Chain A
Amino acid sequence: MSAATRAAEALIARLGEEDGYAHVQRLVQSRAIPQIRGSALAVYLGHRFGPAPDGLAEELVQEYLRYLLEEFLPRLGEHPDLVTAILEGQPNKVLRRALDLFLWKLRDAARKKDNNPRAYLYRRVQGVLREDSRFRLTDDGWHYLPADVDGEPIRDPAAFSGLEYGSWPAPPDLGTTRDTLFTAAYLAKAARVFHRLAADRLGPGVTVPVKELARYLAAHVGWLDRLQPLQLTDDLPLAAEIDTMEEQVGRTMAMPSIAVLAVQFAMGMDETARRIFYWRLGDPPLPFREIAERLGLPDHNRTYRIYSQTEKAMRKFVSHWSGPPLAELPDDVGLAFIEELRKICKRSVSWP
């Protein structure tokens, strides 16, 4: 019997013991639920599993176990490094890895046009408007404005909340083909119509949240909110990823570089630290006293302390990077790291 089979069988047997299920339950609760809470995937899973948060977690545990036992572990032999990890006292590392891959598969499935047309539409709108010079899309991809609108843009996403688009004039006619909705020409037309309707109510310079455009279309196109049952493909995500080495290398060389390390560092920052960091990295930086007021903290000492702790942690993180020290890398590496970190922190500020 191969080492992979023995490792997989030993892990399956262990998970089958009395406390095995509770172990997996705890893993899903602590790692998966925070990741998907509030995401499009949660909305999608809510439709599938029912709205109760506990029900969702329970269904996720079951689904993850099925994935683990029927797909991941039977094919463990394809991953000798994970076999070793199981046999060298790191089964939890492997269970976490399997959970990440499982969630990725779910996310992938939930984004497909046929499974979840509205989520697909949202991303499609961003893609179309980004390419179309007649529109200006904000850097984060969340808001747009027709390029020919004069005057100062007004950004007030809260003004859109609670608007009932069902009573608004309908979007341009789709004709007989349902997929017309996803074409660039149709979406550009619809984006302009929706902006005009919004501008009539909220002012000509209003920037429109992309998700409101999607909500407007869904209010008039009934099938957009109809979700199909989730269909997972049979392939392990890693196996499915392999095409040819040339294609793979092409992708790897093009990969976003320093951004990933910024994500890694930011994982260790809580919301407060992210906001303080964002405001301090602004030009000009906000004074600590003002940050304290914005965060409702009693005085500036605490904001200063959090900022210096974060800065110290960042210096330590950077000094333990692989390879030579930061001072020997091109200047733009450090700058890009800070800029990426700032972008990540900005999301915490923009969307409390």
Chain B
Amino acid sequence: MKKTTDASRIVLAWLHAWNMRCCPPDAVLAGSGGPELEAHLDICPLCRQAREDGLSPIDIGLQAKDIARRQEPASGELWSLAGDLAGWGPKCRYYTPPVVLVTGLTPDGAVSVVQTFGDPLLAGPGDVPLGGGIIGFAEPWNRYTLRKEDLELLLGAVTGECLRQVTACPDTPAASPQPGSLLWFFRHMEVETGWYFASQAIAGLLDGEDAGVLCSLDPASLARDLGRLPLILPDGVADGSMPTLLAHTMPADDLLPHAAADRKQEETWILKFIVSRGRIRDVQVVPAMVTLQAEEDGVMLVSGHCDPQQVATGEWLFRWQSARWSVSPLAGQYGVDNGVFWAAFSVDGLADPLQGELVIRVLVTE
């Protein structure tokens, strides 16, 4: 007979997951508050209830950093992240560091990790049980890079079998959860949590705001490479940065589909750059649809979709842009999921934000 899990167990598991990933520590919750806490309380009935409980924070006289020992991490170990990486972030959440499984180290001090979660009730396809007497699972679809010094406390080790499976797993699981299912929401929350910590580490590792393919581009030859393609380059860009140059580069007419001249308002296109060994070799126009454009409280939210096959493995660059200005999305408030894209921009202070339009560039490595 097929086993079923009581719905209220699932509710309990989800609320615990939300509480662990998105809610502030006891002292912040019991404190006098600030705008971040106020905004969080607006969306979090759990924390509102907890505040009503009036439970005072407990000081157990011991912190992770007191008992942390300086030691080299090794593959297969579970580590907590340094407490000072925690903090308020996008979507009115307090980002509490997750426990991560170390899967590799590089000589320059970077550590590859896979995020873990402690309640097997929320496991799905592609997840790997930790084993070794530890309850929970590793999320091979949620890998990122941290600095060695981001790891704080050794909490145990998984079995060799778990590490082998995690290492062998593809980044994208064979079966994705159905959009809108609880597992889908959970996985997005996990990725958003990982992103918060990974982005801090990447900024430190690369000592700059951009990483990945964009970072690998050779700035000296970028304008020349673009000039060889059917593109119209701007006369110059204010900040002189590579992302801004790419954002202002437009396709020449013969690259655009014929219908583009009288395109409907919601139709748009994405410029897809093919990159090989630090140089842009080719460019394509990928048709896309903008399905939502809404401004509220000084934030412009735009979303839409395109054929996921055409841009599956690319690095995305979003801008809200007019002839006079170009705005990057708010930290952590943009993303792509199976061809669906979204980005939120702060448009406070712009003279005429509605004059802008969404600009998307995708860099794909050959």
Contacts and interface: CB of A to CB of B under 8 A. Distances in A.
Interface stretch (A43-51, A200-208, A323-331): A323-331
Nearest to A239: B135
User: Is the contact region of chain B dominated by helix, strand, or loop, or is it mixed?
Assistant: mixed
Contact of A81 (B83, B136, B181, B303): B136
Chain A binding surface, main DSSP class: helix
A7 B178 CA distance: 39
A33 B54 CA distance: 15
Contacts of B109: none
B185 A322 contact: yes
A258 B3 CA distance: 21
Interface string A147-163: 00000000000000000
A74 to B, nearest CB: 13
Interface in B249-299: 291-292
Given A245-B127, A328-B342, A255 B133 contact: no
Given A3-B154, A80-B80, A89-B25, A14 B4 contact: no
B64 interface: yes
A171 interface: no
A317 B62 contact: no
Contacts of B178: 257
Contacts of B304: 328
Nearest to A81: B118
Interface residues of B, number: 99
A43 to B, nearest CB: 18
Interface in A73-120: 77-93, 96-97, 100, 104
Interface residues of A, number: 78
Greatest chain A CB density within 10 A among B50, B118, B119, B178 is at B118
Contacts of B56: 23
A263 B80 contact: no
Contact of B18 (A2, A11, A264, A319): A264
A242 B120 contact: yes
Contacts of A330: 179-180
A323 B187 CA distance: 9
Given A31-B53, A322-B188, A328 B133 contact: no
A80 B99 contact: yes
Contact of B11 (A96, A250, A251, A260): A260
Given A260-B14, A324-B337, A81 B58 contact: no
18 contacts: A3-B153, A78-B135, A79-B118, A80-B78, A85-B20, A87-B80, A88-B96, A90-B96, A242-B129, A253-B124, A254-B4, A255-B5, A260-B182, A264-B18, A267-B45, A268-B44, A322-B91, A328-B305
